[in-house]
Structure 1
């Protein structure tokens, strides 16, 4: 007997991440016994803002409202001076948030079966919210599309594992690993140092797989208990969503092992800083070829123009790339940090 071809609907039910329609979402959640859903939107700091609701309420009214001020709230929970801003900001008008069902996935660390979905933000008249990070990125991708280009990115996410610390007056310290001792020296690329936290990383891998997040490699970075996990290259919006989910995943997995994970730029005074490096390439949408490389594998004029654009405009966006006081504690000489706009082959 010939095998029956699996349809799109059935494929959606087995996929760990993403469906196309509300009907598929309902079937996907029912198949997993999910009764609760976290409806989130990333703010400018990458913090998940939103609401948690029963699945039944979500399907009866999948659109939700949040105040515009969520995109003005600082990392410390404060707000900037609204003087001079548009009336809708001063009035803190409601936004309309619609779920992007392609981001639907489970919350694997939740006690009860729970799903999560990222939302798009709109004004009441249907205009996208210009400040919403996903919309900012969409606007950039549209500029690439107009030129017939398709950007590809791969983020490298650095972070420290530290022992629990509830008093900000005390410095952070490396946690105790499976050997019963904290890491006291620097162990760049050490496999054994990573193995100290094998149980934690197994949970990170399991949680990531459950959410459809694609991990590429794991290494020990230069600092004590400083790690780096790279995600597989792909579409910038998809990878931005994955990085947003992945940082939360690492924090939650660490908490289950009574460890904190921090992505601060300079969390420990005498240790190297952390960052998120982004590998970038640009393909021709028509041919799929890398526009930075010619037929002989050499650099193209577009490649050098790309570098020149970075050198010219990156200083102007430092307020976005390094938005906190702590960010500038990392940007010092002899610290493997980008303190200039020089470029060279294989130049770290």
Structure 2
């Protein structure tokens, strides 16, 4: 029997569903501080666990009595006063986890979220910009201002417009007393080059910068530590046969799926792959342009969130992005996508 195709799906998601869905992805449902295993060769990892625990305790114990006046100031025309912060990370309204790929930043961020009582929200940088796009800036601020904590995974600095949008949102939320925890997307080979992500992040948020403490998380990418490269692409016939024999799998032509993504808002990519056990793609090749490449990055993130294995024919997953792309401004996103897709291809190879 021919497997179903992602391109036949027409996913829809409402604004309320977008807000309600702001929680760690399924693969992080069970993570906690105690399940994070620090690398003994990287002392910063154990220190980061302690810093995140302290931050979660501060958020939980925070006095919310001033929320009413702050919200009235935000939405009633007055000017809200910025909450005062001391010079220690634990006393600040923001915590920024800075480090390379695969060192457990998302694990720590999700653990922090789990340790704090609600109401609270969690999303990637892209999901947050999607939320603003659907709800509008003012309505997003109104809804999220009711929360104790906003956790932002993979705060990105690639698009100045989106960066300033989110930093203005974060500024409004911290004015309302909301604590914010964020992770970076620093490249491993940039960790010794002036701490790129931390410096740029703190610079971009301007007046908010004093409210954030930076917590370093060093180490190699655990997804590839001591593991083989991604499996080689399958033969077309073998791919089709395996897809047909896999319950819950989908099988698509790569170009057809790229076309589907072009006509679908990125906020719906998670719904697109919901309930899928394995994604099979035939005829994979390098993305023809940046627009297609960035959509593939967003899809890779949603697949990784849900731990959905990927198998391909044609080109290798590591060749999805051209050398020109990998040397350009979106390099961080592309390398993260390759890292995650490689991990997903290994998941199936081991099963």
TM-score normalised by structure 1 residue count: 0.28
More RCO (CA 8 Å, sep 6+): 2
- Compare the two structures and name the one with the higher helix fraction: 2
